[in-house]
Amino acid sequence: MSEIASYVAHGAAQITPATLDKVLRSLPMWKVEFAQINAPHFPHLVNQLEFLADLVEDVAEGVYKDLPYSALAAAVFAITYAHKKTDLIPDHVPIMGHADDSSVARAVLILHGKALAHYAEKSGMDWENITSKP
């Protein structure tokens, strides 16, 4: 397992129902924040974060019930990580500021690809567009 995949798995293992509740309260503001990310070197990052945020919201609200908890926890970890201002590479660093955010989001999409693709299909989303490589 790659280091970033291990990092995501470890982070996801720390997600609890209480964490999910806190994230849900902040999610509307985070979605606005994600939509404003300017990361031309990571052109799929915004779509991926929005996808993961929608997924978390749909599962928590009971709209979608077929997601394994491990995939939900990983999605929560990814959007929480992207929201943090103090992460491995600070977002204000030119060109590479969102590299870590992108890596975490992509790792979640890869690690839980089958379950997330199923959600995308059921939600009428284009999975190939979400998972496109930069």
- Higher pLDDT: 133 or 111? It is 111
Could you read off the pLDDT of 98-111 as tens digits, one per residue?
A: 899 999 999 999 99
- Exposed/middle/buried for 38, CB within 10 Å: 0-12, 13-18, 19+? exposed
Could you read off the pLDDT of 38-89 as tens digits, one per residue?
A: 999 999 999 999 999 999 999 999 999 999 999 999 999 999 999 987 777 7
What is the pLDDT at residue 66?
Answer: 95
- Exposed/middle/buried for 94, CB within 10 Å: 0-12, 13-18, 19+? exposed
Is the pLDDT confidence value at 133 over 70? no
What is the pLDDT at residue 134?
Answer: 45
Half-sphere exposure of 75 (CA within 13 A, CB side): 28
